[in-house]
Amino acid sequence: MPPIEIRPFHRRDRDQLTYLINAHIDAVVPGISVSPNTVLGQLEREPGEYVVDPWVCERHTLVAVHRDRVAGAAHLLRYADDERVSAGMRGLGELRWCVFWPGQHPRGRAEMIEVADALVAAALAHLRGCARIAADGALPAPGVYGIPDRWPHVAATLERAGFVVGEREEAVLAARIDDLPEPGPPPLPGLSRHVALGGHATRFSALLDGEVVGMYEVHADLTAGGTHSRLAGWADAWECWVRPDLRRRGIATWLLGHAADRLRFADVRRLLECAITMPAGEDEGSLAFLLARGFRELTRTRRDWTLAP
């Protein structure tokens, strides 16, 4: 077998790394890709993680070179160990993501298993001394996080390295805007709609007797002001909530219809969503609701991977 070289990322690797990352993104969310500048930007900082990112005290990216190509890569974070960091993340080491080609035939797959194991071993060696080590698949694209079931080669590699997965599982879904409900009349007498900026994006609220009884929050532009042009036409849902005693009365469908109507006006084509499927009961009913309203499931993703002691 040709030798495997594990070394720090060089800027000349950016095009091959971007191609590798986009292959993993496409396996999860078809039609989405990122540019080399987006990839390089994540290696330097993640401005969207405005709470957690300032806690990072070290970033390091490794690449695995095999047969003269970048066959795999891992982006590593080390969090500071001081009082400004959340207690659960003090001194944490994280494989922010680890991606590699799975191989196309039995011999190629066997070689890539060796490449992947060598890459993860080097990553763990670099993070030696951390209080705890976690792993994720948070690539710089919406809907790609955790370890999706579309990446069985990554999950198998982490398990061989000693990682165990937590209980949390989520379904990632997407819908064509034209498949979503129309706004329609209010489902309850006295119900009114209010649109304003929410905690993350535009929020559609349902008010009854002056009280907010439901909300749906959606971000219509994922291009970050045009810098991520390949995400044009996609929107991302942030939050959907209805007061428990008023659920299954049509309020969420009504709010979703108004959000979809606004997205059509903005020439958005597709909307991303997610639903917690495990632990059971944490978000009970949301997956069935979304599937019945025009969404299709793209993948299931498992979160909270940690290295066993």
Residues 150 and 250 in one domain: no
Specify the pLDDT at position 47: 75
Residues 5-59: pLDDT tens digits?
A: 999 999 999 999 999 999 999 999 999 999 999 999 999 998 778 889 999 999 9
Q: Is 308 inside any structural domain? A: no
| Cα angle 242-198-175, degrees, rounded to a multiple of 5 | 65
Domain boundary among 112, 134, 164: 164
Residues 187 and 132 in one domain: no
Q: Is 169 inside any structural domain? A: no
Specify the pLDDT at position 225: 76
Residues 147 and 189 in one domain: no
DSSP string, 5-26: EEEE--GGGHHHHHHHHHHHHH
Residues 100 and 57 in one domain: yes
Residues 191 and 151 in one domain: no
Structural domain span for residue 154: 4-164
Residues 200 and 280 in one domain: yes
The number of beta carbons lying within 10 Å of the beta carbon of residue 256 is: 26
Q: Is 307 inside any structural domain? A: no
Residues 210 and 149 in one domain: no
Helix (H) / strand (E) containing 153? helix 152-160
Residues 38 and 185 in one domain: no
Residues 139-157: pLDDT tens digits?
A: 999 999 999 999 999 999 9
Q: Give which of 46, 64, 47 is closest to 7, Cα–Cα.
A: 64
Torsions phi, psi for 80 (to 5 deg): -65, 155
Residues 297 and 234 in one domain: yes
Q: Which two tokens stand for residue 194?
A: 């209010």
In the numeric block, the tokens 């196309």 are attached to 104
Res 282 pLDDT > 70: no
The number of beta carbons lying within 10 Å of the beta carbon of residue 199 is: 9
Specify the pLDDT at position 205: 98
Q: What is the mean pLDDT of the chain?
A: 94
Residues 59 and 201 in one domain: no
Residues 220-256: pLDDT tens digits?
A: 988 877 777 788 999 999 999 999 999 999 999 999 9
Q: Is 309 inside any structural domain? A: no
Give the total number of structural domains in the chain. 2
Residues 290-304: pLDDT tens digits?
A: 999 999 999 999 999
Domain boundary among 125, 146, 164: 164
Residue 163 DSSP symbol: E
In whole angstroms, what is the distance from residue 121 CA to residue 161 CA? 7
Domain boundary among 164, 187, 208: 164
Q: Which two tokens stand for residue 4?
A: 């495997």
Q: Give which of 291, 293, 285, 298 is closest to 178, Cα–Cα.
A: 293
CATH number of domain containing 196: 3.40.630.30
Residues 147 and 183 in one domain: no
Residues 154 and 182 in one domain: no
In the numeric block, the tokens 């996080």 are attached to 145
In the numeric block, the tokens 């001194």 are attached to 91
- C-beta separation of 193 from 203 below 8 A: no
State if pTM tops 0.85.
Answer: yes
- State mean pLDDT over 126-141: 96
Helix (H) / strand (E) containing 98? strand 92-100
